[in-house]
Structure 1
Amino acid sequence: MSKVELTNMCMIYDKLNNKVLVQNRIKSWKGISFPGGHIEDGESIVESTIREIREETGLTVYNLEACGVIYWYNDETKEKYFVFNFRTENFSGDLIENTIEGNVFWVDKDNLQELALADGFKERLPMFFENKYSEGFGVWNEHTLSKLRLL
């Protein structure tokens, strides 16, 4: 049986100030991206996203809007890796700037692409900012990584 890994990611948007919350990841998939994490066994996708955001940022998010799924397929091992993507403008709480996952900070939405983004994160951004994509699909193996196609 092939391995399936389920994860989540959420763009938190401060519309009033035109800022998004980012995390400079230091443990895995290093670089700047939106916060998120793994879906635990027996946990719903939305509830896992709310939990991960609270753990990694100190904020409580609500009224999550689904904005697409990233699906990576390993054509050698048959592993599957899914990222369920969400966005929200609804949050409360006090920001924790330093966590074991990396620093968390607000950045102007228009300057996001100028930062040291995690590998492949730039290609995912249209899913969060445009309402026309449902899926990102890519193939990887030990030797190659295909470009992510947004569908």
Structure 2
Amino acid sequence: MAKIVMTNMVMLEVADRLLVIDRIKRFKGVAFPGGKVEAGESIYDSAVREFREETGLFLSNLKCKGFYYWEGEDDFKYFVYLYKAKEYSGELRIATDEGKVYWIEKNLLRNCTLAPHMDEYLRVFENDYSECFCTYKDGYIPHYR
């Protein structure tokens, strides 16, 4: 039986800047903050919690942008729920054990070494897609809906 892993990712966009984390552990590279959903926790609440743990910031009024789903070679099914926010409070934590956290101009993001799958995530964030599905069975070709 396949195991399901649910995670989240939050794009915080203020003016023309995005808050990113340069991950040094798993899924290395520049990405948006986020992480795994814990047992008994809503996906929305997990996004707020993970964002706060990685950045020190409290988010409000998150908007769901869709999700990214893929079937791994390891018989896992991965769901990444994508949220966008524009409102926050608190003091930015510039580094955690996950990596360095910093603001970047939106138009410079694609010049960075992005974490795996960030191109697909960005297409969902930036377009009117509600989902992206990939499977290793078809050569890992993303399908957008």
Short-chain TM bin: over 0.9
Deviations 1:67-113 (A, max 9, x none): 01111113x65421000000010111110011001000000001111
After superposition, where does 1:58-73 map in structure 2 within 5 Å? Answer: 58-73=56-71
Q: What's the counterpart of residue 131 of structure 2? A: 135
Q: What's the counterpart of residue 7 of structure 1? A: 7
Matched residue SS, 2:30: strand
Matched residue SS, 1:66: strand
Deviations 1:11-53 (A, max 9, x none): 00112xx100000011110000101000000000110000000
Matched residue SS, 2:5: strand
CA 1:101–1:32 in structure 2 vs 1: closer, same or farther (change >3 Å)?
A: same
Structure 1 residue runs of 5 or longer lacking an equivalent are none
TM-score, scaled to structure 2: 0.94
Q: What's the counterpart of residue 150 of structure 1? A: 144
Q: Does 1:90 align with 2:87?
A: yes
Matched residue SS, 1:8: strand
Q: Using the alignment, how far apart are the partners of 1:40 and 1:3 within structure 2?
A: 15
The letter for the 2-side match of 1:150 is Y
The number of equivalent residue pairs is 145
Structure 2 residue runs of 5 or longer lacking an equivalent are none
The letter for the 2-side match of 1:10 is V
